[in-house]
Amino acid sequence: QVYLAESGGGSVQPGGSLRLSCVATGYSYNNGIAWFRQAPGKGREGVAAIYSTTIGHTGPATWYADSVKGRFAISRGSGESTLVLDMKNLAPEDTGIYYCAASNRPLWNPYAARDREEYQYWGQGTQVTVSS
């Protein structure tokens, strides 16, 4: 069983920064892992993900939603079981509950990486609020 615990949410002004962390217990390092978010009154959407690459590539690949490219960065933390999301230049539309999600298998392309149906394990979420 995989357990995910997010931390690091909070309230910031527009233009501010936050770092979210997710500790994944029981997670297999090569499986897909991602951040999703859900804004008030909206569905859950993919924000960023780490997925596997085909043989011959070096290192895992990352996918970002167009709305966060250049502002957010997903990475492994100091341990294999930690996932980090560094967010900068935050805007009010980034407000929402941010969820860490893990798959039970490797994901091999960005289409799978951004699909919430590919993730079987979810954390409880952490609130991010951006307002002046």
Distance CA(61)–CA(9), nearest Å, equals 25
What is the dihedral sign for C-alpha 28, 80, 68, 97? positive
Residue 112 is given by DSSP the state: H
CA dist 85 to 8, 57, 82, Å? 9, 23, 10
**38-75: pLDDT as tens digits:** 999 999 999 999 988 765 556 678 999 999 999 999 99
DSSP E strands in the chain: the ranges are 3-7, 10-12, 18-25, 33-38, 44-51, 61-64, 72-76, 82-87, 96-102, 121-122, 126-130
Distance CA(10)–CA(130), nearest Å, equals 8
**7-45: pLDDT as tens digits:** 999 999 999 999 999 999 998 888 899 999 999 999 999
Q: Does 1 have pLDDT greater than 70?
A: yes
Q: Supply the pLDDT for residue 59.
A: 64
CB 3 within 8 A of CB 26: yes
